[in-house]
Amino acid sequence: MTSLVPSNSSKSFMGEAMETYYQTLKTEAGSAAVEYLKSRALSGASGQSFRLGYVANPLPGHEQYTGMLCVPYITRSGVVTLRFRALPDPNPEHDPSDPESAEYLPIMGPKYKSVPGEMPRLYNTPDLDRREPFVCITEGEFDAMIAHQAGLPAVAIPGVNGWSDWWGRCFKGYEAVYILSDNDPLKKKVNCRPCADEGLQECKGHNVGAESAEKLAAKITNARVVMMPPGHDVNSFVKAEGPDALVAKIGVKL
């Protein structure tokens, strides 16, 4: 079983990797990655705070992550793991005057890669040490970064299926735990058991983000699901409407 606390040698190596890739992000080699982060409405200050990096010259054992963003999981005890995100290619047909025009092409293959053997972890746990009577949970690191950038205490989970039951203890004592839910288009599933149980011949379609948020809410005391507008996640909503709109949607005072 993987230990919750990495060995000192592992933390030292991950700390070296984090700083190496962070410094690379600030060079010409990382320019495309910087433009991508800007397209996600992530500020330079946030990139520095979260120590995001770019893998141009991988450290030994990281060769498979070449050309990817590095997202370190930083805690009070240091770096406990690294995740890597694929960078999409720019869309050559992107029309900046058309809000529906995609700036980047879809990523073919897995978006994320984790260190082999690594267990799921909460992201941005330092925000659990803040003094607000509430905290936000997102699905995915970038949504947590954007919520944090908006002034909200926010952590991320790697998906409701990656939830560990003991994480619930991290959220006890809060007056409210806001689960910031993606509002996905309805997606039909093949051989959908819930719809079959309702006597339907075919799947009626499911909002995957909303269903995941409801499942997560059932595991946490004082959880409240906050649904983003149709077609949006936290990141795209803030990019479209601004950080104040997210704070207002949750209904908290900062």
**CATH number of 220's domain:** 3.40.1360.10
| Residue 166 domain flag | yes
**119 occurs within a structural domain:** no
Interval 173-212: pLDDT, tens: 999 999 999 998 777 778 777 786 777 777 777 778 888 8
Q: What does the pLDDT look like over 214-229, one tens digit per residue?
A: 999 999 989 999 999 9
Strand partners, 154: 136
**Average pLDDT estimate for 25-31:** 97
Q: Which of 93, 114, 135 is the last residue of a domain?
A: 114
- Which residue type is seen at 74? I
Q: Kindly tell me the burial class for residue 183, based on how many C-beta atoms sit within 10 Å of its own C-beta (0-12, 13-18, 19 or more).
A: middle
- Structure-token pair, residue 138: 């997102």
pLDDT score for 225: 97
CATH code of the domain covering residue 96: 3.90.980.10
Q: Report pLDDT digits (tens) over 51-72.
A: 999 999 999 999 999 999 999 9
Taking the C-alpha atoms of residue 88 and residue 177, their distance in angstroms, rounded to an integer, is 32
208 C-beta neighbours (distance < 10 Å), count: 15
Same domain, 96 and 135: no
Domain that holds residue 81: 8-114
Helices 234-241 and 141-149 meet at what angle, rounded to 10?
A: 40
- Phi (first) and psi of residue 73, to 5 degrees: -100, 105
User: Domain count of the chain?
Assistant: 2
